[in-house]
Amino acid sequence: MNGLSNVEVSILMPCLNEAETIEVCVRKAREYLGSRGIKGEVIVADNGSTDGSQALAIKAGARVVRVTSRGYGAALLGGIQAAHGNLIIMGDADDSYDFTDLDPFLDKLRAGYELVMGNRFLGGIKQDAMPPLHRYLGNPVLTGIGRVLFRSSLGDFHCGLRGFRRDSIMSLALTCTGMEFASEMVVKATLRKLRIAEVPTTLSPDGRSRRPHLRSWRDGWRHLRFLLLFSPAWLFFYPGVALLLLGLLGGIWLTPGPRTAGSVTFSINTLLFAAASLIIGFQAIVFYMFAKTHAIRSGLLPEDPVVARIRDVLRLEVALLVGGLAVMAGLVLALQAVGVWDEASFGRLDLEESLRKVIPSTTLLILGLQIMFSGCLLSVLQLDTRSAGARTRKTDFIAAMSPQHSDDVPMSGRRLDGTNARRQ
C-alpha cells in the first residue's frame, strides 16, 4: 500500500474472542488482495477480546481497531468509521466464509452497486454450517417478513458476508449495536433506494470450538422487532384500517336493531364490540401518523409524500373542527338518551333499547376527543426544534454555555453519519 489515499478496498471482520480462526481469516483476505493486485487493507474491529485475538490478527497482517461499545453492530460501526477504503467487504471472523473468493462482491461494487448482499441459500449451505432452526425457520421467516414489509427482492437478509460503498452506508446513519445491525443496513438501504445486488455465497462450518455469539430466540426477536418498528404501516396503519372498517360497518348494521344471520342473532353485545373495534382502529391509525412523522423528522425514514399531504389536510384547525362536530353529535345522542330516561321518570329502562343510543353517543364523544387531542399532538411533533432558540436538551445547554467545547467523542459513541449518538 502506498499511502492511505490509495486504499481501494477494506476487508472488515468483527471480532470477539476468535483466536481459533482470526489468523486464517486475515491471511485469506490478504491473499485475496495480493492475488488480485488490489490496494487494500484488512481491518479487525475487536470488541474486547480476552483470548489474544488482537495480537494474532496483527501478526497475520491486519490493522486492529478497538471498539469499546459492546455488540456485533457496534464493532462493525467502529470498523466502518476507521476504514480507509471506500469499498468495504465485511465478513465474520469464524472462517465460515471464504475470503479468497470475493470477486462477485467487488465486481458489483465496481459496477456502481452500493450494497452487495451474499445469499447463502443460492450459494450453498454445507452440512452442519447452519443449525436447522436457522436454516428452515429463522432466516426464511425473517427474510420473508422483510421482503413483504419493505418490498425487497433479497433472498437472505442476514448473510454475514456483504460488500458496500462506505460513503453510501455512512449516509444511512446506522445506529443498531446488536445483531439487528444486519437488518438495519438492508432495511435503510432499501428505503433510501440504494442500488442493491445479490450474489451467491457458500457458507461452511465455522472453525470454532466454542458456542457462537448468536442467541437464536433473543436475536431473532431483536431482528423481528426492528423490522416491525421500521414499518409503522404494517404495525399500525393496516391493522387499524381493518379494525376501523369492521367496527364502522358493524355499527351501521346493528344500531337500528338486532340482526339475524341464519340461526345466529347479533344484538347489543356485538354492537359494543363494534364500537370498541372502531375506537381502537382509529387510535392505531393516528399512532401510525405519530410514528411516521417522528421517524421522518428524526431521519430514520425518508419523506413520504402521501403522509405529507395528509398532514397538510389534517391541520390542527381541521382536527379541532372535525373533533368538535363529533363531540357535538355525541352530546345530541346523549341528550336523546336522557330524554328517554326522563320519559321513564328516571326509573328502570329497557337496557337494550337504551344502549342503542348510549353506545353510539359515547363512541362519538371518545372519537371526537381523540381527533382533537391527536391533532394537537401531531402539530407538536411538527414543531421546528432545530433552531438555536429551540434547544432544550441539557447537553445542548451546557455546550452553549461553555467557552470551549470539543466535538471529539470515542469512536463507539458516534453514529455512522459522524454525529453523536446514545446507543441502547
* Mean local confidence (pLDDT), 317-344: 88
pLDDT of amino acid 419: 52
Q: What is the CATH number of domain 7-229?
A: 3.90.550.10
CA dist 281 and 271 (Å) reads: 15
pLDDT of amino acid 5: 60
pLDDT of amino acid 12: 98
Taking the model in full, what pTM does it have? 0.72
pLDDT of amino acid 421: 45
Nearest to 275 by CA among 184, 161, 365, 185: 365
**How many C-alpha atoms does 259 have within 13 Å on its Cβ side?**
13
Beta strands in 16-104 (DSSP E): 40-46, 63-66, 87-90
Cell of residue 248, nine digits = 364502522
Q: Is the pLDDT of residue 420 over 60?
A: no
CA dist 91 and 9 (Å) reads: 13
| Residue predicted with more confidence, 207 or 171 | 171
Beta strands in 239-329 (DSSP E): 259-261, 264-266
Banded pLDDT at 138 (limits 50, 70, 90): confident
Q: Which residue has the cell 429551540?
A: 390
Burial profile 106-144: b = 16 or more Cβ within 10 angstroms, e = fewer: bebbeeebbbbbbbbbebebeeebbeeebeeebbeebbe
* Mean local confidence (pLDDT), 140-159: 91
Q: What are the start and end residues of each CATH 3.90.550.10 domain in the chain?
A: 7-229
Q: Are 89 and 40 in contact (CB under 8 A)?
A: no
For the stretch 352-406, pLDDT in tens is 778 888 999 999 999 999 999 998 988 888 876 544 444 444 444 334 334 343 3
Nearest to 373 by CA among 335, 319, 334: 319
* Mean local confidence (pLDDT), 272-283: 95
Q: What is the number of other CB atoms lying within 10 angstroms of the CB of residue 256?
A: 8
For the stretch 243-259, pLDDT in tens is 999 999 999 999 888 89
Banded pLDDT at 294 (limits 50, 70, 90): confident
Banded pLDDT at 4 (limits 50, 70, 90): low
Cell of residue 369, nine digits = 376527543
pLDDT of amino acid 48: 92
* Mean local confidence (pLDDT), 203-226: 79
In a 3-state reduction of DSSP, which class is residue 43? strand
Cell of residue 25, nine digits = 481469516
Dihedral, CA atoms, 384, 389, 391, 396, nearest 10 degrees?
A: 140
For the stretch 71-129, pLDDT in tens is 999 999 999 999 999 999 999 999 999 999 999 999 999 999 999 999 999 999 999 88
